[in-house]
Amino acid sequence: MNAGIIGVGHYVPEKVLTNADLEKIVDTNDEWIRTRTGIEERRIASDDIDTSHMAYFSAVRALEDAEVNGEDLDLILVATVTPDYPFPSVACQLQERLGAKKAAAMDISAACSGFMYGLATAKQFIESGVYKNVLVVGVEKLSKIVDWEDRNTCVLFGDGAGATVLGQVEDGKGILSFELGADGTGSKHLYQDEYIIMNGREVFKFAVRQMGESAVNVVEKIGLNKEDVDYLIPHQANIRIMEAARERLGIEEEKMAVNVNKYGNTSAASIPIALSEDVKNGKIKEDDLVVLVGFGGGLTWGAVAIRWGK
């Protein structure tokens, strides 16, 4: 029995915050932000749209795409570090709004790697035969934990949500391998006190090393080579980090998902938003070998290799 993604959906808030807008708030400039990060603009949720609302909008789209009803869900996993409340979980709020009466529900806290942890968890429940339909959402409203006076961080982040429905797929398709990891000794480099605190250079070095390594590992685990990768979706944190991962795999520019320019770093949401966009615009096709890879606070990391299709 193989677990795979049978539906995708995403939601980003309407309000656009450009680099020029940020120039009016902190001592920064468009040139610095573009060249150091690749970010041109990001989306910011309004006060009345919280994390659970964005999660819901993306989940409805993914369920429609998968042709699965809320009441047929067995499990809801929400990767986020910006829940509406410490508890109840965003997953429980979704459970109510989706009418997913029989679904178990919990949030996953693994920062930007959270969606990878969610996919790997869903795979276990489906392939053991315990559950049939699992909803995995990555969602963040980072704008509420960003210090808008700190130019080191406020230019980087954005809000949004991406959702996937996982179920059983044909032999040879679906999530073929994964890798998850953590290094708590690096927790001091990226954490939330009241706001996000980050040692950018340390996180950068870790990310460049780990993304390339994990991406290669999940491909080798299934007995394939870097050359077999059709599409790479790296966590959208910084174009320079993403490019390093692409170069490590040795794949062409057009085979890597890039939306960091439009949305900035949306943490746990960045990979599922890119996945949803690129399935819908046809960049990801049936039978493609797709590698998803993320890293984040914790420190944490994770990668997944998927043979696309149902």
What are the residues binding ligand UT7 (CB under 6 A)?
Answer: 28, 32-33, 36-37, 112, 151-152, 155, 190, 198, 200-201, 203-204, 207, 237-238, 265, 267, 296
CB atoms within 10 A of CB 70: 21
Which of the following is catalytic: 112, 133, 154, 238?
112
Task: Tell me whether residue 94 or residue 293 sits nearer to ligand UT7 (CB atom).
Answer: 293
Contact 235, 293 (CB under 8 A): yes
Please identify, using beta-carbon distances, which residue of 42 and 123 lies nearer to ligand UT7: 42
Cβ proximity to ligand UT7, 125 vs 204, nearer residue: 204
Of 114, 221, 198, 197, the residue nearest 162 (C-alpha): 114
CB of 165 to ligand UT7, least distance (A): 25
Name the active-site residue from 19, 238, 259, 265.
265
**In the complex, minimum distance from the CB of residue 169 to ligand UT7, in angstroms, rounded to a whole number:** 30
- Decide whether 11 or 295 has the Cβ nearer to ligand UT7: 295
Active site residue 265: yes
Closest residue to ligand UT7, judged by C-beta, is 200
Of the residues 189, 235, 238, 259, only one is catalytic, namely 235
Query: Of 63 and 208, which CB lies nearer to ligand UT7 in the complex structure?
Result: 208
Nearest-approach distance from CB 201 to ligand UT7, in angstroms: 5
Sequence-separated (6 or more) residues with CB below 8 Å from residue 193: none
- The least distance separating ligand UT7 from the CB of residue 48, rounded to whole angstroms, comes to 26
Q: Is 152 in the active site?
A: no
In the complex, minimum distance from the CB of residue 95 to ligand UT7, in angstroms, rounded to a whole number: 28
Give exposure, 221-258, as e/b (b: 16+ Cβ within 10 Å). Answer: eeebeeeebbbbbbbbbbbebbbbbbebbebeeebbbb
Amino acid identity, position 130: V
Per the DSSP assignment, residues forming a β-bridge with 231 are 290
CB of 28 to ligand UT7, least distance (A): 3
Looking at the Cβ atoms of 230 and 243, the one nearer to ligand UT7 is: 243
* Neighbour-count burial for 94-105, b at 16+ CB within 10 Å, e otherwise: bbeebebeebbb
Give me the active site residues, please.
112, 235, 265
